[in-house]
A and B are shown apart, each in its own frame.
Chain A
Amino acid sequence: GAVVSQHPSRVICKSGTSVKIECRSLDFQATTMFWYRQFPKKSLMLMATSNEGSKATYEQGVEKDKFLINHASLTLSTLTVTSAHPEDSSFYICSARDGLTGELFFGEGSRLTVL
């Protein structure tokens, strides 16, 4: 089946630094990618929707200057957590929609810990 690769799977950083997480669709073109945040024992919270070549659409309450999303190609979207703080520590998951079939595939997630 189609695969979405997310990297890094785990990252630990110091408070104040920026962290970039990559989401790649490996064998299909993803016209739309979604970024989620998941707290322990909670469901996925949609942060933003990104369409290739255009600005991301952020959900209410998500700071666009804090969580920078770039969807520069049909196979790659990146999420950059800028000036990270301990409260940004979370599990971040991306999903990618196959432009041909409409199917949605999830990455394995990236666990961010901010010290």
Chain B
Amino acid sequence: QKEVEQDPGPLSVPEGAIVSLNCTYSNSAFQYFMWYRQYSRKGPELLMYTYSSGNKEDGRFTAQVDKSSKYISLFIRDSQPSDSATYLCAMGQGAQKLVFGQGTRLTIYP
């Protein structure tokens, strides 16, 4: 079993829709959780960072962590074509290396 599971998609939704991206994990020691966005041929950029269970909101983005279920989500409201990218979840503990999900390819069409 992989430490982090993420549906690779592809996921295609119309502009303005709410997008839900998810990851599950098996290591209960993970302490912090991130979502990265990666445009084609570019390096990943950090979108959201959460440390505890619950919700964290930043503009159109909401990150949700449920440690009891080992499940994290990223919601994108009022999705835009510019949100089309690959979204990677990542998690870690202490100063150790991050473990990445496979990434979900998202396309927002006008």
Residue ranges of A at the interface with B (Cβ–Cβ < 8 Å): 4, 6, 32, 34, 41-44, 46, 49, 91, 93, 97, 102-109, 111
Interface of B is mostly: loop
Q: Within the complex, which residue of B8, B41, B95 is in contact with A102, where a contact is CB–CB below 8 Å?
A: B95
Residue of A nearest to B45 (CB): A106
Is B11's CB within 8 Å of the partner chain A? no
Q: Can you give 8 contacting A-B residue pairs, CB < 8 Å?
A: A6-B43, A34-B98, A42-B102, A43-B100, A93-B43, A106-B43, A106-B45, A108-B42
Q: Within the complex, which residue of B8, B44, B103 is in contact with A93, where a contact is CB–CB below 8 Å?
A: B44
Residue ranges of B at the interface with A (Cβ–Cβ < 8 Å): 6, 8, 36, 41-46, 88, 95, 97-98, 100-103, 105
Measured in the bound complex, the distance between the Cα atoms of B39 and A91 in whole Å is 13
Interface of A is mostly: strand
A residues near B102, Cβ cutoff 8 Å: 42-43
Measured in the bound complex, the distance between the Cα atoms of B36 and A49 in whole Å is 20
Residue of B nearest to A106 (CB): B43
Q: Within the complex, what minimum Cβ distance (angstroms) separates A25 from chain B? A: 13
Query: B44 contacts A106, CB within 8 Å?
Result: yes
Q: Within the complex, what minimum Cβ distance (angstroms) separates B4 from chain A? A: 9
Max chain A CB contacts within 10 Å: which of B43, B97, B102, B103? B43
Query: A32 contacts B43, CB within 8 Å?
Result: no
B residues near A44, Cβ cutoff 8 Å: 44, 88, 100
B residues near A91, Cβ cutoff 8 Å: 41
Q: Within the complex, what minimum Cβ distance (angstroms) separates B101 from chain A? A: 6
B residues near A93, Cβ cutoff 8 Å: 43-44
Query: B43 contacts A109, CB within 8 Å?
Result: yes
Measured in the bound complex, the distance between the Cα atoms of B42 and A106 in whole Å is 10
* Known A-B contacts A41-B8, A41-B105; A46 and B97 likewise in contact (beta carbons under 8 Å): yes
Q: Within the complex, what minimum Cβ distance (angstroms) separates A101 from chain B? A: 11
